[in-house]
Amino acid sequence: MHILVVEPWYGGSHRRFIDGLCAHSCHTYSLCTLPGRHWRWRMDAAAVPLSEQARRQITLHGPPDVVFASDMLDLPSFLALMRPVLAEVPVVLYFHENQLTYPRPKGSKAPRTYALLNYRSALAADACWFNSAFHQSDFLEALPEFLQRFPDPPSPATTHAIAARSQVVPLGMNLQQLGTPHARPANNPPVLLWNQRWAFDKNPEGLLNLLTGLDSSGVDFHLIITGRAAGRTPDALDTIRARFQDRLLHMGFVEDADVYTELLHRADIVVSTAHHEFFGLAVMEAVRCGCHPVLPNRLSYPELIPDRLHDPLLHAPTLYDRPDDALALCTALLNGSARPLPSRTLHEIPAPFDWSTRADAFDDAFAALA
């Protein structure tokens, strides 16, 4: 089959996902992309240059069997610009994130424009695929209340139609590039990892509170913080850099994939303090490299960790309910009173998301749609 990929944000995790899909799928792909920058402009206007690219790709390679677009595309505008070329071609809208339930900083209002764009695009698509079950339910449950804010609310039938064509299709990961957790002397002191985007929804203030609590309790640890800030570095991370300088082994964005992987292999525990997470790619990368996860018992995290490991009897738990629980769990792991999961178990947790499994799932889903 011939799949036409339309991606306004060809950067970061979106790019790794598309490249992995193209490399491991049995189908043929034509790519229409724009660099991963200026996200508002991409959602506002990317349909125009991407429709021009699509026409060129179709001229070169023939009409596609399926169009595969990401949630950042104004799909109705794109399809209007492509008529009648794509009139009979089924369209998949893949939700990496959405602007309806994406959290906003305190004091700022979410622009309705982009939430409406996601809604209209979901209506225009033949299938809506979400990267996690949490993401799917989060979006579909928020839609009715959002639409009721308008003077003439759309019919509930529209949300029912979107729900009927929605399914969970988790993304794929190239786990082989991350290697295998290797035997090594125990870190003394143990190393704590936080490898999230430097953004308010990842709750760096929560990380600061956790580290302050660990420091106050006299627990010894080293610290690795990776990630990138979209704009100004959050104040909490500046405070962490100053207050915990003597514990930091690394702090900042890592461009080189091998260097980043090496940092993950140096750590013992990966912690998330996130307020919001649609999937959890960075955490799964760290777990693959041998880090025991300490994650909120909500959002997408419970579905990433097998049920049997949610509260294991012989080893430390992986999920926590409250910040105090996270502090207690990290303290126990760092001072040795709780045993982390074995390396082999950690290595296998992300295995269901490896492209060796996920490529067939995508191939079959495309074939069923076409």
Residue count of the chain: 370
Over residues 123-139, the mean pLDDT reads 98
Residue with structure tokens 């203030």? 205
Residue with structure tokens 């990892």? 193
- Looking at per-residue pLDDT, the higher value among 231 and 64 belongs to 64
Q: What percent of the chain has pLDDT over 90?
A: 89
Q: pLDDT tens digits for 219-260?
A: 999 999 999 887 889 999 999 999 999 999 999 999 999 999
User: Average pLDDT, whole number, for the chain?
Assistant: 95
340-346: long-range pairs with CB below 8 Å, 24+? 340/268, 340/269, 340/292, 340/315, 340/316, 341/292, 341/309, 341/312, 341/315, 341/316, 342/315, 343/181, 343/290, 344/181, 345/309, 346/181, 346/287, 346/288, 346/290, 346/291, 346/292
The pair of structure tokens assigned to 129 is 């695929």
Residue 10, H or E segment? strand 2-10
pLDDT recorded at residue 230: 77
The neighbour count for residue 323, using CB atoms within 10 Å, is 15
The neighbour count for residue 325, using CB atoms within 10 Å, is 15
Whether 292 and 268 have beta carbons less than 8 Å apart is answered as yes
- Looking at per-residue pLDDT, the higher value among 186 and 75 belongs to 75
Helices and strands (H, E) in the chain, number of each type: 15, 12
pLDDT recorded at residue 105: 78
Domains, the chain, ordered by start: 2-173+354-369 (3.40.50.2000), 175-352 (3.40.50.2000)
Supply the pTM of this predicted model: 0.95
